[in-house]
Amino acid sequence: MRRIIIDCDPGHDDAIAICLALAHKKQLKIEAVTTVAGNQTVEKITNNALKILDFLGEDIDVARGVSEPLVRELEIAMDNAHGDSGMDGPILPNSMKKVLKTNAIEHMAKIIRNSNEKITLVAIGPLTNIALLIKTFPDVKDKIEEISLMGGGIFNGNATSAAEFNIYVDPEAAKIVYESGIPIIMSGLDVTNKAYILKEEYQQIRNNGKVSNFVAELLDFYSKYGELHGYTGNAMHDACAVAYLLQPELFAYKDYHVDIITGDGARGKTLADTRPRPLKEPNAKVLLDINREKFVKLLFEAFEKLDEI
């Protein structure tokens, strides 16, 4: 059993990643959900996190994180990718749950320090909270098993031609995380653009139950962004960071040393040393390929399981 903290900015694919984790309680124990500004303001995405957990009947602590990147202005998701609420599409009732009084960074540190086992961080938004955790409480580093993150891309960008959104939003934070020495599993666009669900696939699950229906409504909205930008299907970026923890055999990867570019020319680029003899040791396991059919099956089975609860 892996103990995890999900640091997120829900976000359509964040919501789906949370569902995937919750459907696998024997393998993953979610100690907390923490929120970070990214797809929308931290107020909106914290509200979404609370609503998702309430909707799924889960009593998991939610702690609010930072509202701004470390040194830059917040740029929320481009082209209305996640809508005004950050999770447009399905209408969920307002949550009865309350956000914790403790902020995300202190709450993560408390969980990690009090745990007998190491904790895995699943980081599926900008890396601001995680960077602040490492800088403010450096003693917790040794008790972090791995960081399974969605961010970057060795050969691809989306926010710009050079950079993926999560890293683009807070490159200074990403640099701290990549240089921390904590093992990183990087689900970047190289793999996540291949981890898509087609419209004809999700139409088949629409009426299966309340969670499948929620997912279909999420994808009805989310698909507009993919269509606008010419992507195939609906890329389940954030779900890859959870899926790897459940079924690593679905993925092909390579270890690379990855630098984060913070200069404005290629702000947020994850620059991997792809030379045969790189000068530095690898700092990230970079996922490059996925068995898409098995991944979609894993997701659909997870939704079906949650439908029954």
Q: Which residues are catalytic?
A: 237
Q: Name the E strands within the chain.
A: 2-8, 28-35, 62-64, 119-123, 144-150, 184-187, 196-197, 234-235, 251-256, 258-260, 270-272, 284-290
How many whole angstroms separate alpha carbon 170 and alpha carbon 36?
Answer: 11
Question: What part of residues 244-283 is at the interface with ligand BDR (CB under 6 A)?
Answer: none
Write the interaction track for Ca ion spanning residues 179-218; mark x where CB under 5 A is met and - where it is not: ----------------------------------------
- Rounded to 5 degrees, φ, ψ at 296 are -65, -40
Write the interaction track for ligand BDR spanning residues 117-136; mark x where CB under 6 A is met and - where it is not: -------xx-----------
Q: Which of 48, 120, 158, 187 binds ligand BDR (CB under 6 A)?
A: 158
Closer to ligand BDR by Cβ: residue 31 or 190 = 190
How many whole angstroms separate alpha carbon 16 and alpha carbon 87?
Answer: 11
Tell me the closest approach of the beta carbon of residue 159 to ligand BDR, in angstroms.
7
Residue 165 binding: pick among Ca ion, ligand BDR, none (C-beta 5-8 Å cut-off by kind): ligand BDR
Q: Name the E strands within 230-303.
A: 234-235, 251-256, 258-260, 270-272, 284-290
Beta-carbon contacts of residue 246 (< 8 Å; ≥ 6 apart): 20, 24, 27, 28, 298
Specify the stretch interacting with ligand BDR by CB under 6 A; choose among 7-15, 29-37, 205-213, 251-259: 7-15
Half-sphere exposure of 288 (CA within 13 A, CB side): 12
How many whole angstroms separate alpha carbon 101 and alpha carbon 162?
Answer: 38
Closer to ligand BDR by Cβ: residue 4 or 109 = 4
Residue 61 binding: pick among Ca ion, ligand BDR, none (C-beta 5-8 Å cut-off by kind): none
Write the interaction track for ligand BDR spanning residues 13-32; mark x where CB under 6 A is met and - where it is not: xx------------------
Q: Tokens 């914790």 appear where?
A: 100
Write the interaction track for Ca ion spanning residues 219-258; mark x where CB under 5 A is met and - where it is not: -------------------x--------------------
CA-to-CA separations, 280 to 174, 190, 262, 277, in angstroms, rounded: 18, 22, 19, 9
**Interacting residue ranges for Ca ion, rule: CB under 5 A:** 9, 11, 14, 124-125, 238
**Interacting residue ranges for ligand BDR, rule: CB under 6 A:** 11, 13-14, 39, 77, 81, 124-125, 150, 158, 164-166, 237-238
